[in-house]
Amino acid sequence: MSRSEALIDLAAIRSNTSKLKAMTQAQLLAVVKADAYGHGLVPSARAALRGGANWLGVAIIDEALELRAHGVTAPILAWLWTPGEEESVRRAIAGGIDLSVNSIWALEMVAAQSRALDTPASVHLKIDTGLSRNGVARDDWRDVLLAAAELVDQIDLRITGIWSHFAYADSPGHATIDRQLVAFEQALAEAVECGVVPSLRHIANSAALLTRPDAHYDMVRPGIALYGLPPVPGNFGLTPAMTLRAELALAKKVAAGEGVSYGHDYVTSSATTLGLVPLGYADGIPRAASSIAPLQLRGERFQINGRVCMDQFVVDLGAIDVQAGEVVTLFGPGIGGEPTATEWADLLGTIDYEIVTRIGPRVRRVFSDDAEDTDLAEFVEDSVG
């Protein structure tokens, strides 16, 4: 194997997508933003499509363009762009990529680039229903609707969707969920009044897909659940798709009382063997994992000892006679007793989204899939059993 690897089980992504798809009558948009939450943009997108996804969703336009450049023809929605991205907007329209619109200026930029290309643009109008993040401000909603309706006649603008995003869907029963649904219904009714009737209404993320069928509307947008990490408690039959592992770069015996790593936050209590793992915060291992986070070697659990450094950390392996080159697993599906990304997140006081997404490019991705028609030739760098 390589020095460090993130093993990506594309069959798990495909299966997770299929299971999520079976939970709804709506279309399914697979969110593959942020390099598919660290799992690899193009292979993960293809796996989700094989699992039944109807659409793909990304935050930034560049990721949508990368999918198109690799021959992905499925509908794609991109939702986070700025006034300085005129050329990207133009390329998105030319590539048949749907764009989210959150303001008059964004609508006008899409219209201008559509006119310049003499090509219809397809947009999803996003209404802020209570997250106070992206989306049209409530007081500006009617103005955006009227401007969009006028452009439909002027440049053949296609208003494909109206959408929003929950603030608390991962806390089932929270009062804001119902309030946001009421606000969404009001925004949809106002759209009809203004002559805007989209074919797709969507607000449900992974958590709402799993817990709020009344929020499914015409399309759902699972993200983290695709990768086997459900954002709410429950057994949904999903399989974590990433396993992070590395070869020991060094194993050495030290005496009792030896300080380990910067600051000597950890001191050996007896003669022991230290293993050096070639992963650090430059690779996405949180510095906060120092002396906390678990890992597995030879089926046995250990934990990081001392501070996580930029490129490496140390683990106290006790009396084990270990050699450089042996493989440690930081997290995986958990079926072999190894830690999970969710376990790491709980120990570090964060969310598993962050644990998998922050794994950096120095960690080689190795893809596996048990399907016969995987078409992974340009991505697979190694075979995985």
Q: Is the four-CA dihedral 37, 42, 44, 45 of positive or negative sign?
A: positive
Tokens of 370: 């048990």
DSSP-derived pairing of the beta strands 250-254 and 272-277: antiparallel
State the Cα–Cα distance between residues 125 and 199, nearest whole angstrom.
Answer: 12
Secondary structure (3-state) at 368: strand
33 is an active site residue: yes
- Cβ–Cβ < 8 Å for 310, 280: yes
DSSP-derived pairing of the beta strands 250-254 and 200-204: unpaired
126 is an active site residue: no
Q: Name the catalytic one among 33, 227, 281, 353.
A: 33
State the Cα–Cα distance between residues 125 and 309, nearest whole angstrom.
Answer: 44
CA–chain centroid gap for 85, Å, is 23
Q: Name the catalytic one among 168, 217, 227, 262.
A: 262
Which strands sit side by side in the sheet containing 300-303, from one edge to the other? 300-303, 294-297, 327-331, 242-247, 4-9, 364-368
Query: Which amino acids are annotated catalytic?
Result: 33, 262
